[in-house]
Amino acid sequence: NEIINKLLDVKRKCPSFIDKTSFINKSAKIEDAVFIYPMCNIDKDVIVQKGTLLNNSVVISHNSIIGECCYISPGVIISGNVSIGKNTFIGSGSIITDGINIGENVKIGIGSVITKDIPDNANVIGNPMRFLNKNLEL
Which residues are known catalytic residues?
Answer: 62
Identify which of 79, 94, 13 has the alpha carbon closest to the alpha carbon of residue 50.
13
Q: How far apart are the first and last CA of the chain?
A: 18
d(CA 73, CA 37): 10
Max CA pair span of the chain = 43
H or E element at residue 78? strand 77-78
In one letter, which amino acid is 30?
Answer: I
Peptide bond into 128 cis (omega under 30): yes
